[in-house]
Amino acid sequence: MSVTFAQGFSAAGVEAGISAVAGKKDLALVVNNGPLDAAAGVFTSNRFCAAPVQWTRSIIADGHVKAVILNSGGANACTGQAGYEQSQATARRVAELLDVAPEDIAVCSTGLIGELLPLDNVLAGAGAAFAALDDTAEAGADASHAIMTTDTKPKTVEIEGDGYRIGGMVKGSGMIAPQLATMLSVITTDAVVTAGQAQAALLAAVDTSFNRIDVDGCQSTNDTVLLLASGASGVEPDPDEFNAMVAQACASLARQIIGDGEGASHDIRISVTGATSVDAALACGRAVAASNLLKCAISGNDPNWGRIVSSIGTVPASVAPYDADKVTVDVNGVRICENGGAGRDRSEVDMTPREVHIDIDLNAGDAEATVWTDDLTHEYVHINADYES
Amino acid sequence: MSVTFAQGFSAAGVEAGISAVAGKKDLALVVNNGPLDAAAGVFTSNRFCAAPVQWTRSIIADGHVKAVILNSGGANACTGQAGYEQSQATARRVAELLDVAPEDIAVCSTGLIGELLPLDNVLAGAGAAFAALDDTAEAGADASHAIMTTDTKPKTVEIEGDGYRIGGMVKGSGMIAPQLATMLSVITTDAVVTAGQAQAALLAAVDTSFNRIDVDGCQSTNDTVLLLASGASGVEPDPDEFNAMVAQACASLARQIIGDGEGASHDIRISVTGATSVDAALACGRAVAASNLLKCAISGNDPNWGRIVSSIGTVPASVAPYDADKVTVDVNGVRICENGGAGRDRSEVDMTPREVHIDIDLNAGDAEATVWTDDLTHEYVHINADYES
């Protein structure tokens, strides 16, 4: 289903010869058929942000986007003025096809950093995608396939609201870290909302979803999350419900990224409670999520709490006040660290499930936060030692 | 040679049955025979600091240490009051043997976090080490072997000054990150220096050596660097020369840690020039050193500059002002990134040497800094997925 679940959207995914992988769909097009064209976007904070990010950030500033073209097989990052002109030319081609202004076309790219795209293939692919546009579930699925790189499966979401719908897709598997996670995501809704409403909902949703996952601590140059509203349902949603549903869509997509993290054999949920503030809880959770040693231990099915507390111990007291002698750690429900020292034996922990729950209680306050990460496996090293396309 | 290179020191390394590895020397003793007993120490900033760190930090405050006992096979970290009493009992035993006060005995431990030591073995081992004390090169070598954990080789340094000597040993291979690097180090000198002089020299030296290496971004609970001065040479060194020599000793030991990083197949030197401040250069260097993606690429002999600049791009402009369009990156002397974009072809880079040089010019100022890291290999994952002792 993906982006076509919401009314007023058509999509396509085609093979345009951009990716080095023969036979892979590598170009997606998502068109908002209206009546509205409200749009919101959140982008990478990386200072080497890619040409398509620069283009899209600039054209979305007015709150209007008619279509998004996305390619895998090349990030068009660190490509200078020539790269920017490629994004611009791509937008111009889609604008011609749809008979709208180039400034209404968002562009996203993902793949290897530092190389220009095969522009002729992109432009020809845009034509093929335009010809294939449809509002079927299959067309949405094609789009979600076309944006995959090291992803092993497409990631989509469909949520039914009170008279309106939200659909979405995301790609991302490696180079995933706040802020943002490394990925491209397009979320669509047929609710009647303004660009301002969409932006507020998206910012809040991203903060508790894509910004709380970390596969490998590496932040991309191309991250983009777009929320497009067609208004095709004719329904003006309750603002709180709409915000909650956008948050739910983002959380689902973020969780799917972790579920498909490069080489991962365990999805790890790290919940920090008893913190003096959400920021304190987040800082502790992120420190644990960033520990290569812990992530290796989990891949070896070892609930090594020493590597958990030594990670928490790197967070400055000014950021997260707590007393090391009062910290407890449960892994999959077994309290293996009590009062900062050994608790129940780690052999009691069942590490067979793919999902591992690490629950840390700082016993210092009432705030809490949850972050997600993956384990670090041989396969991650293999993928990233050999990945070139 | 190790710690016995400087006059006035004797040492021993014995098998005390602490380590799970049969036949491994696991207890070292280093004794300062005077006439001076000036001492300086630098310790982990981890808030879950181990019992021996708490003990040694407290007893070294007066600037006097007569001996250091070090064990591998157990970190005695996160072991609460019982762990602290083990460190204290160990110091008391060594003090009895040497007929000095327990408050003159430093204690260091390394190994698994969260378990108490087999204290009887430690105390019996202290007696055996005392009986084996000698000032020979072999005795120094034994001590440097006894502190190894996942280290594959002992790491020592010997430097000849103007009438005096500096010797040292270090252990450390994984859980290595600023601040400090994860390790135990004992450096000895027969120069006539005060504890204050020693502390100043050690702090400055650590700042540019152990605090600029990063194997895996993980900070330990047990890091300790001690500098002991016997005064046995009778020579009062030129202060600047002494500082430089201590820095040289620390730099050599730190470099050896990188050379023996867990599973590493490449030692990576990251030099950042053209920064507006040393802190800016360091922040950029450390961001690159922390990139799992880059470290995997290097293990696959791929000089992936996209992963270098995307790491630099995560450093906030407030910390390191620079213009992304002016950054250059050379790998092993080939400028593969020019003005923030592609430069010469990456295939021109010879990646066969173990040592890889990444030279980043921010073109924003005159400050520079160098940090070292290792690549991320299958072997690192193997060691840390299976390590339990």
Instruction: Say how far apart CA B43 and CA B52 lie, in whole Å.
Output: 11
Do B381 and A386 lie within an 8 Å CB cutoff? no
Interface residue A321 vs chain B (CB under 8 A): no
> Cα distance from A292 to chain B (closest Cα, Å)?
6
Q: List chain A residues with CB under 8 Å of B290.
A: 217
Question: What is the β-pairing status of strands A367-374 and A267-275?
Answer: antiparallel
Residues B98 and A293: their CA atoms lie apart, in Å, by 39
**Residues A312-335: pLDDT tens digits?**
988 889 999 999 889 999 999 999
Cβ-Cβ contacts under 8 Å for B65 (sequence gap 6 or more): B32, B37, B39, B41, B59, B104, B105, B106, B226, B228
Q: What is the pLDDT of residue A216?
A: 67
- The residue of chain B with its CA nearest to that of A336 is B114
**Which residues, in sequence order, are bridge partners of residue A357?**
A269
Q: Is A46 touching B (CB cutoff 8 A)?
A: yes
Say if residues B65 and B89 touch (Cβ distance below 8 Å): no
Summarize pLDDT for B39-76 with one digit per residue, the tens.
Answer: 888 887 777 788 999 999 999 999 999 999 999 999 89
Q: Which residues pair with B67 in a beta bridge?
A: B31, B105
Of A47 and B153, the structure prediction assigns the larger pLDDT to B153
In this structure, the number of other CB atoms found within 10 A of the CB of residue A58 comes to 10
User: Active-site residue B373, yes or no?
Assistant: no
Q: Residue B221 pairs with which residues in a beta bridge?
A: none
User: Which amino acid would we find at residue B267?
Assistant: D
Mark residue B178 as left, alpha or beta (left: phi above 0; alpha: psi -120 to 50; beta: remaining): beta
Which of the residues B112, B176, B292 would you substitute to probe the A interface, choosing the one with the greatest number of A C-beta atoms within 10 Å?
B292
- The domain A2-259 is placed in CATH, from the list 3.90.79.10, 3.40.50.300, 3.10.50.40, 3.60.70.12, at 3.60.70.12
A251-267, pLDDT tens digit by residue? 888 878 888 888 889 99
* CB proximity under 8 Å: B 59-78 to A: 75, 77-78
| Tokens coding B311 | 């790491």
Measured between alpha carbons, how far is B130 from B242 in angstroms, rounded to an integer? 30
What is the CATH topology of the domain spanning B267-386? Ubiquitin-like (UB roll) (3.10.20)
- Note the pLDDT of residue B44: 77
CA dihedral B70, B74, B80, B86 (to 10 degrees): -50
Residues of chain B in contact with residue A382, where contact means CB-CB under 8 angstroms, are 378
Counting one residue from chain A and one from chain B, the pairs whose CB atoms sit within 8 A come to: 188
- Give the closest of B174, B293, B315 to A384, CB-based: B293
- Give contacts of B214 with chain A, Cβ < 8 Å: none
The residue among A68, A2, A377, A25 whose CA lies nearest residue A225 is: A68
Please report, for chain A, the start and end positions of each structural domain, with discontinuous segments joined by +: 2-259, 267-386
Helix axes of B239-259 and B195-207: crossing angle, nearest 10 degrees: 40
In single-letter form, the type of residue at position A101 comes to A
Residue B289 at interface with chain A, using a CB cutoff of 8 Å: no
Dist CA A39 CA A195 (whole Å): 5
Amino acid (1-letter code) at residue A303:
P
Q: Which of B44, B78, B373 to mutate to test the interface with A (most CBs of A within 10 A)?
A: B78
- Asked whether residue A367 carries a pLDDT value surpassing 50, the answer given is yes
B310 touches chain A (CB under 8 A): yes
Closest-CA residue of chain B to A177: B314
CB B157 within 8 A of CB B254: no
* Per-residue pLDDT in tens (0 to 9) along chain B, 389 residues: 799 999 999 999 999 999 988 889 999 999 999 999 998 888 877 777 889 999 999 999 999 999 999 999 998 988 889 999 999 999 999 999 999 999 999 999 988 888 899 999 999 999 999 999 999 999 999 999 999 887 888 888 898 988 999 988 888 766 655 454 456 778 889 989 998 888 888 888 887 777 777 666 666 677 777 888 888 899 999 989 998 888 888 888 887 888 888 888 999 999 999 999 999 999 999 889 888 889 999 999 999 888 898 889 888 899 999 998 899 999 999 999 999 888 999 999 999 999 999 999 999 999 999 988 889 888 888 887 875 53
Cβ-proximal residues to B201 (8 Å cutoff; 6+ apart), any chain: B40, B193, B227, B242, B243, B246, B247
| Mutation site for A-interface testing, chosen from B49, B310, B337 by largest number of A Cβ within 10 Å | B310
Confidence class of residue A180 from pLDDT cuts 50, 70 and 90?
A: very low
pLDDT at A245 over 90: no
Query: A38 with A229: CB under 8 angstroms?
Result: yes
CA distances from B210 to A125, B154, B170, B180 (A): 53, 17, 10, 6
Active-site residue identified among A56, A182, A189, A373: A182
